[in-house]
Amino acid sequence: MKIFITTGLLALSLLSARGAGSGPLAIPTFHCLGLYWSPPGGAAGKDVLVRYRPQGAAGWKTGLPLRYNPIEKTEEDLTDYRGSLVHLAPATTFEIELTLAGTRTTTNLMATTWSEKFPEGAVVRVASGNAPLAITESGTPGAWRVYDGRGATLDVRHQHDACITINASNVIVRGFVLKGAGAAGNTKKGIIGAIRIEGGRDIVIEDCDISDWGRLNPKTGFGFDYDAALFSNCKTLRRLIVQRCKLHHPTYDGSTWYEPKYPTHTMGPQYISLFNAGGNHVIRYNECFSDLEHMCNDGIGGGSNGSYQGAPGPDSDIYGNLVSHCWDDGLEVEGGSRNVRVWGNYITQSMMMIGNAACSIGPLYIWNNVVARSQWQPDMHGGYFLKMGYAGSEDWMTGHQYIFHNTLFRSDEYLPTGGLGGNRIVKHTVSRNNILHIRDGKGKGHSASEAQQNSDNSFDYDLFNGKVPEGSEAHGVRGEPRYVAGAGFDAAARTGNFQLDPASPGVGAGEPLPNFSSGYTGQKPDIGAHQRGAPPMRFGVAAREP
């Protein structure tokens, strides 16, 4: 088989057509590689086995097998087999071996993860002001153009819809304080963004502080839907990196699902809104927060949900973020979700912690996240850990999903009322090693959905207290977790300890998962996001993956 080599942030090989014999291909980010292959003889029930190692290393490591899943009526799936390697070192070349199970069909490829050091070229220093900044001049792959706003505040005082617009490539936007986006007199439909990306690719937004954005919808009395600190609907946008930013306190409040005047879907501002905006993005180490008088609709999300595209786009990562104060989804990863990876986030003060309805291509990976305080109205608990289900039609529920090592943490009485989809439809989902601790509602709550339309699911090795489908969780543990003394989230330090007490149910009761279970001692991992003996989990601006 032909060897494909992908290297660095700027290298991206695309298959010209999907079909037997196409590939192999790897699409990198900092810590992950999306893998693609269509070997001759591929078929349902016949996995592709994965081995990998840093170039020149002696020993191989095992990756999670790739499942056969061609998606009809679209080429967005790229190949018949798709999957990811995760927790990789940046700027490192890996040798990868793929083998069709039960055959001698094998292929090899090499791929290099992105470097975290960008080649900087010209630096444009920007002073404080009240006029928008338009970025239209690009850098080059070998010399990124830096727009340095450290020490500068751009406050457009609600006289303009954006503080910064970007239509350029190979640019870094660094260190700005942005306020006042959203012209007060603009009541037209559409979405504004304090940072609005209109075109380009290879764009880094880092170390920015964005607040006081959005417009008032006079019809509803709440903020306009989807108005965002950062917005793009540019379909050609690739490789947007948003890191170490504080996105907080929009100008206007968002509505709940149950407002007396408008009892409909939540409406209001968002921290990040991406609508079919290309892909291969990374959103990491950000702090997205507000208060109960300035709530968001979704936190990080967008659309289109019922599609083969959606948000955040294929081959994208969302990790290490702190997200709170949403009347709907804290994170929304819906649509195609092709090799979308969500891990290491802390999500609180939201209704649905993670929206994943639907996943049409996949695989979607959700692991090592901690969620707390599920709330759907002021002073009322409710909502699910994962939304699940579909968007408009069950026909979109064709992608695989992997849910590993997450913790539904009881910090107060506001536990979710549902775990894996409540009792909504769930398909093509593997759940392992999750603490699915819900507010049981006198035996009525679901840790995992029992919907009759469910299909192709595997739920096992979870710690749960609610209902689960009959015949599932053969190795699961029914009970409630007990945590070490002082467990919880430290708001000042942006760290958390969510380790189980040594005597708790779920200790040493998980299934070792290749490439996903790490940091544990003994033969089996603990169930949940935080292994005993591991350092505190870190979220937001100060977080880093070792």
Q: SS3 letters for 300-313?
A: EEEECCCCCCEECC
Are 315 and 29 a contacting pair, CB within 8 Å?
A: yes
The answer to whether the 5-112 and 121-478 domains have the same CATH topology is no
- Comparing CA positions, the residue from 436, 472, 433 lying closest to residue 454 is 472
The string of pLDDT tens digits covering residues 155-185 is 999 999 999 999 999 999 999 999 999 999 9
Number of Cβ within a 10 Å radius of residue 209: 18
Q: Which fold has domain 5-112?
A: Immunoglobulin-like (2.60.40)
Q: Which residues contact 234 (CB under 8 A, 6 or more apart)?
A: 197, 198, 199, 200, 277, 278
pLDDT at 90: 98
Cis peptide bond upstream of 312, omega within 30 = yes
Rounded distance between C-alpha atoms, residue 382 and residue 441, angstroms: 11
* 438 in Cβ contact with 417 (< 8 Å): yes
Report which DSSP code applies to 184. T
Write out the two tokens for 281: 């993005």
**Is the separation of the CB atoms in 384 and 419 below 8 Å?**
yes
pLDDT value at residue 378: 82
- Domain 121-478, CATH 2.160.20 — does that match? yes
Distance CA 359, CA 355 (A): 10
Q: What is the pLDDT of residue 391?
A: 92
Biggest CA–CA distance in the chain, Å, is: 66
Where exactly are the structural domains of the chain? 5-112, 121-478
Helix or strand run (H / E) with residue 310: strand 310-311
Instruction: Report how far Cα 42 is from the mean position of its chain's Cα atoms.
Output: 29
Residues in CB range of 192: below 8 A, 6 or more apart: 161, 162, 181, 182, 183, 186, 213, 214, 215, 224, 227, 228, 231
Cα separation, 435 vs 487, whole angstroms? 15
pLDDT digits (tens, 9 = 90+) for 431-457: 999 999 999 867 889 999 999 999 999
Tokens 């490539």 appear where?
A: 169
Q: Which ranges of the chain have pLDDT less than 70?
A: 1-21, 441, 545-546
| Model confidence, pTM | 0.96
Instruction: Report helix, strand and coil shares of the chain as percent, to nearest 5.
Output: 0, 40, 60
pLDDT of residue 4: 38
Cα angle for residues 132, 134, 137 (degrees, 5° grid): 160
User: What is the per-residue pLDDT for 10?
Assistant: 37
The whole-number pLDDT of residue 8 equals: 42
Which residue type sits at 119? P
Distance, CA of 478 to CA of 473 (rounded, Å)? 9
Q: Looking at residue 5, what is its pLDDT?
A: 37
| The pLDDT value given to residue 261 | 76
Query: Rounded to whole angstroms, how far apart are CA atoms 148 and 510?
Result: 47
Please list the alpha-helical segments (H only) found in 207-349.
Answer: none
Residue 545 pLDDT: 60
Distance of CA 391 to the CA centre of its chain: 18
CA dihedral in degrees (110, 116, 120, 125; nearest 10)? 150
